[in-house]
Amino acid sequence: MTIDLRSDTVTKPTKAMKEAMFEADLGDDVFGDDPTVNALQEKAARMFGMDAALFCPSGTMTNQLAIRVHTKPGNDVICDKNSHIYLYEGGGIMLNSFASVKLLDGDRGRVTAAQVAEAISPDDDIHTTCTGLISLENTMNKGGGAYYDINEIKNIRQLCWDRKIPLHLDGARLFNALAETGESPEQYGQLFDTVSICLSKGLGCPVGSLLIGSDQLITRAKRFRKVMGGGWRQAGILAAAGIYALDHHVARLEEDHLRARAIASIFRSRPEVEEIFQVDTNIVIIRLDENLSEKEYVQHLAEKGIFAVTFGKGLVRFVTHLDFTDDHLSEMQTILS
């Protein structure tokens, strides 16, 4: 039995999802006439109480489109130092938007309104960049799946209103956060100017992310999506998977969180593990004894049929998902006992 915990992106479409994809009504999305893509976009926009949404190949693209439509060349983007938009998107902030960054040191990636306020560039100082965007990530990948207290987001939102600065959410795993807090997508739609959600992580789609926002912002984002080569043709076959996932795979995320906590329990008894990050959602990060190599440890696990990824010096990450079952969990416990 192979136990693949490298990411929640490794899932395969379920039989029911494949059937939905096979039966999708198709058109040409570049012309705007793929009915299934349109239905997915309208569904997502309604869920968040926002005007419109744009279906894209990846969360990197939706994040980069958001940055592009919100900023001007020479602006800065305020985000946590471990944000996905900064660490894992190929330098896209600089390459695509000609913008700089101001990096904050948050609590497991969660920044506060006070930190943001201190980082905003003064309007009257010609020596500094102008702050063009504030971006939050929820849940926080490098923070071990940590999620925000919505009250702190409200404080940041008020600051953005006061300073007339847009607020973006990298919500690649937002539904994991909502599974824990009980909050609704619509509450988040009221707090952010744009929201990016990923369909191919916890929701189990083969590919795709959505950028959600106002009609004006999404119209501009669609233009830049085309510039980036992101125009689809008969993309409804992929959008159908997204519709199915939003209907059937959100409520089950709690199962992934329970299994993640069970994995943490397994590693607590391992002598080579010095620390286990707090497990809030579906991500488990362990810190190894300082004398051990994280690369060698991941290779050692792979030889036993358990696949994980290195996540920095001495760190290894495991991510649960819908293809990781109780049977896999039991097998993992047997292997590591």
- pLDDT tens, residue by residue, 175-186: 999 999 999 999
* Closest listed residue to residue 337, CA positions, set 271, 252, 279: 271
pLDDT at 239: 98
Residues 92-111: tens digit of each pLDDT: 999 999 999 999 999 999 99
Q: Is pLDDT of 294 > 90? A: yes
Supply 33's token pair.
Answer: 């006439």
Once rounded to an integer, what is the mean pLDDT over residues 61-90?
A: 98
* Closest listed residue to residue 211, CA positions, set 56, 12, 40, 1: 56
For residue 121, which phi and psi values (nearest 5 degrees)? -70, 140
Residues 214-268: tens digit of each pLDDT: 999 999 999 999 999 999 999 999 999 999 999 999 999 999 999 999 999 999 9
Once rounded to an integer, what is the mean pLDDT over residues 296-320?
A: 97
CATH number, domain 15-248, options 3.40.640.10, 3.10.20.30, 3.40.630.30, 2.120.10.30: 3.40.640.10
Q: What angle do CA 204, 84, 48 make, to 5 degrees?
A: 55
DSSP structure string for 262-307 = HHHHHHHT-TTEEEE---SSSEEEEEE-TTS-HHHHHHHHHHTTEE
Q: Which amino acid is residue 212, in one-letter code?
A: I
Q: Is domain 3-9+252-336 classified as CATH 3.90.1150.10?
A: yes
All CATH 3.90.1150.10 domain ranges of the chain, comma separated, are 3-9+252-336
The DSSP bridge pattern shows strands 283-288 and 273-276 to be antiparallel
pTM for this one?
Answer: 0.97
Cα separation, 331 vs 1, whole angstroms: 8
H/E stretch holding 197 reads: strand 194-198
Cα separation, 235 vs 55, whole angstroms: 9
pLDDT at 257: 98
Cα separation, 22 vs 15, whole angstroms: 10
pLDDT at 123: 85
All CATH 3.40.640.10 domain ranges of the chain, comma separated, are 15-248
Average pLDDT of the chain? Answer: 97
Residues 151-190: tens digit of each pLDDT: 999 999 999 999 999 999 999 999 999 999 999 999 999 9
pLDDT at 337: 86
